[in-house]
């Protein structure tokens, strides 16, 4: 059975942060969106977009009346299993296991935890990117002790999480603490 992809277009003004569109047969994700109006010229849309296949980040400008191609992207849940030469996932519905290269996942590999549910983005049937939950809970495996009398809340120290990732945590955090991390910035959010 052959799958046919129908191309639809949307106005450039609908390219909000997180929108995925297609340009030159490549899927692009909008990281930042700005709509500006000039006196006589007319409105323009400026986006900072990331190519979901190559991870290249570019600034793109469009007239507000321009149209861009809508990308046919499918999101599917997957459970992270383990890392070998590839990163292995399992479809929770069919229990099918498959591996992805680091290039597909990018920097998000540092926040993968065994048995964690993630969303894979498929572009024309091929996985091109991975979405993590906005915040995730991790356990601190190793961090130096805080110094006595150091109660200032904005003093941070390095902490190694159980998955090997190093993040900055407040000085009061200690080994074994469970903490919440923002997966897009890698910053400490709170105790869990």
Does residue 1 sit within a domain? no
- Whether residues 86 and 127 fall in one domain: yes
pTM above 0.75, yes or no: no
What 3-state DSSP class applies to 123?
strand
Q: For 71-102, how does the pLDDT look when each residue is reduced to its tens digit (9 = 90+)?
A: 888 889 999 999 988 999 999 999 999 998 88
- Whether residues 174 and 141 fall in one domain: yes
How many domains would you assign to the chain?
3
Instruction: Tell me the backbone φ, ψ of residue 167, rounded to 5 degrees.
Output: -130, 165
CATH of the domain at 83: 2.40.50.140
- Whether residues 13 and 65 fall in one domain: yes
> What's the pLDDT score for residue 20?
87
Q: For 90-137, how does the pLDDT look when each residue is reduced to its tens digit (9 = 90+)?
A: 999 999 999 988 888 888 888 998 888 999 888 888 888 888 888 999
Q: In terms of residue numbers, what domain contains 31?
A: 9-70
- Whether residues 37 and 60 fall in one domain: yes
Distance CA 118, CA 137 (A): 14
Most confident of 29-33, 49-53, 60-64, 95-99: 95-99
Does residue 169 sit within a domain? yes
Domain boundary among 97, 131, 165: 131
Residue 44 in tokens? 């323009």
């Amino acid at each position: 059975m052959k799958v046919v992809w129908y191309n639809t277009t949307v106005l450039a003004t609908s390219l909000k942060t997180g929108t995925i569109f297609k340009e030159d047969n490549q899927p692009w994700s909008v990281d930042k969106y700005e709509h500006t109006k000039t006196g006589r010229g007319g409105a323009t849309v400026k986006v900072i977009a990331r190519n979901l296949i190559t991870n290249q980040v570019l600034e793109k400008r469009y007239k507000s009346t321009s149209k861009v191609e809508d990308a046919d992207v499918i999101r599917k849940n997957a459970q992270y299993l383990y890392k070998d030469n590839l990163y292995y996932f399992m479809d929770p519905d069919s229990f099918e296991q498959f591996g992805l290269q680091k290039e597909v996942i990018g920097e998000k590999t540092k926040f993968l935890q065994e048995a964690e549910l993630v969303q894979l983005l498929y572009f024309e049937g091929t996985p091109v990117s991975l979405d993590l939950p906005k915040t995730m809970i991790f356990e601190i495996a190793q961090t130096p002790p805080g110094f006595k009398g150091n109660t200032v809340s904005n003093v941070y120290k390095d902490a190694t999480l159980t998955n090997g990732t190093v993040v900055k945590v407040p000085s009061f955090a200690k080994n074994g603490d469970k903490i919440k991390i923002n997966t897009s910035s890698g910053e400490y959010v709170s105790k869990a």
